[in-house]
Every structure is written in C-alpha cells, then in structure tokens.
C-alpha cells in the first residue's frame, strides 16, 4: 500500500514517513501544495495524509482539485488544534477523516488502516484468505496461526494481494503500489518477491494468470 504524505514541516514529515514505513507502507512525500496536487493526480496512491496549511496551494484546494478530477483515494487531513471550521471545510471538500495536531502516530495508523480497509470494502482489520491471515494492525501474516517471516517488501506485496484477493493484480499494479515514486523500480523484483512468497505460503495460493498478472486465492 502506497501513501502520499503532504506536510511542509520537515520534522513532522520525516516522523510520518518513518512511522508509515515501519508499519509496512511505501511513502511518497510532498512538502508543498503544487507537488502534492500533481502526485495525487498522477500516481496511484492508496491513501493520502494531507496537511492543510501548505505553501504553493492550500490543502483544501488540493483536495477539491483531486475530487473534481475523480481521484477517489481515501484522504486524511491534518488540522491545527481547535479549528473546527478547518475540519468542516476539509470534510466538505472530500476528506474521509481528520486528525488534529499534535497527534499520536498510533492513532494516525489506526485511522489510516480503517480508511484503506473501508475503501477496499473490508470490514475487519484482519484480512483472511483460507488459512492465510493478515493482521493489518501488527503488519503480520500467519498461515494456520503460524507467523510468517517476511521482509518489508514481501509484506507489501502480500498486503496488496490480500487487499485485492480473488482479483487479478498486474505486475505494474504491484510495482506502483509497493514502491514510492522516487524508488528505483524494477518490475523483475516483483517476480522475485512473488517467488519468495510462494515458498512461504501453502502451494497454489498465488496463481500466475498468463499475460495478466497474479491472483491470490484460497487453496482448493
């Protein structure tokens, strides 16, 4: 899952990025409204965390432009404390949730998980596919209750497949959702991650759909 973080305060931006990466997300950073608008408009991010007070273009305008262009990813806005009118303006502009600064990283992660889960039509924080379970709160996967040892990229690939299980996911989709924009992307590495995941999962769970991509499905 790939998250766009828009925050012009460098220390907070870094804390957000570190916390999100530690939780298993790929992170793109923007420190002004112009770049934020462009990235959210052109990159397939799974959610955005958007500060409202930004240089270049304010967060409300960025959000309105995304929504007007049909960009539907969940957006969590960061507001200053005790500014109820910002929250109202943000929600009216198409925000899905808000958090007032200062906030605890744990609360931000919980709200983000809920937004991504709802966007994918999942009701629970634990996703399951046959014997495979993914606890998005702990960034942990288990098979029949046994924890899998996964690298951060293996986790990202598996999490994306779990959020889209029983659907065909193309290699391009995977590359775009497991790497941030500035990462040196090599689609061959996706095959490597898939091969490693196959060794860790029950046989047959990750099907190759020739010419189209991969599908995660419960073993028959």
Q: Is 58 in the site for Ca ion (CB under 5 A)?
A: no
Q: Which is nearer to Ca ion, 8 or 191 (CB)?
A: 8
What is the nearest approach in angstroms of Ca ion to the Cβ of residue 54?
6
Give the integer Cα–Cα distance in Å for 162 and 154. 12
CA distances from 55 to 35, 36, 133, 150 (A): 10, 10, 42, 39
What is the nearest approach in angstroms of Ca ion to the Cβ of residue 11?
12
Nearest residue to Ca ion, scored by beta-carbon proximity: 53
Q: Which is nearer to Ca ion, 72 or 80 (CB)?
A: 80
Q: Is 53 in the site for Ca ion (CB under 5 A)?
A: yes
Q: Which is nearer to Ca ion, 6 or 73 (CB)?
A: 6
Q: Which is nearer to Ca ion, 53 or 202 (CB)?
A: 53
# residues near Ca ion by CB under 5 A: 3
3-state DSSP assignment of residue 96? coil
For Ca ion, the binding residues in 13-52 under the rule CB under 5 A are 51
3-state DSSP assignment of residue 127? strand
What is the nearest approach in angstroms of Ca ion to the Cβ of residue 67?
20
Q: Which is nearer to Ca ion, 98 or 155 (CB)?
A: 98
Give the integer Cα–Cα distance in Å for 199 and 192. 11
Q: What is the DSSP string of 146-193?
A: EEP---HHHHHHHHHHHHTTTSEE-HHHHHHHHS-TTS---HHHHHHH
Return the percent helix, strand and coil in the chain, to nearest 5: 40, 20, 35
Per CB under 5 A, residues contacting Ca ion are 8, 51, 53
């Amino acid at each position: 899952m790939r998250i766009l973080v828009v925050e012009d305060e460098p220390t907070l931006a870094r804390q957000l990025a570190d916390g999100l990466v530690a939780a298993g997300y790929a992170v793109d950073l923007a420190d002004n409204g112009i770049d934020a608008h462009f990235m959210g408009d052109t990159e397939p991010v799974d959610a955005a965390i958007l500060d409202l007070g930004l240089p270049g273009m304010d967060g409300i305008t960025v959000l309105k432009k995304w929504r007007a262009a049909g960009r539907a990813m969940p957006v969590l806005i960061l507001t200053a404390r005790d500014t109820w009118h910002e929250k109202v303006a943000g929600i009216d502009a198409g925000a899905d949730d808000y958090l007032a600064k200062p906030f605890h990283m744990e609360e931000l992660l919980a709200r983000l998980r809920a937004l991504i889960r709802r966007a994918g039509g999942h009701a629970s924080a634990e996703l399951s596919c046959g014997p495979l379970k993914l606890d998005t709160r702990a960034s942990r996967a288990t098979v029949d209750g046994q924890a899998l040892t996964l690298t951060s990229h293996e986790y990202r690939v598996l999490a994306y497949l779990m959020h889209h299980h029983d659907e065909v996911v193309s290699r391009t989709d995977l590359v775009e959702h497991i790497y941030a924009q500035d990462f040196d992307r090599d689609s061959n590495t996706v095959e490597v991650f898939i091969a490693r995941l196959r060794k860790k999962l029950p046989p047959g769970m990750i099907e190759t759909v020739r010419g189209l991509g991969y599908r995660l499905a419960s073993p028959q």
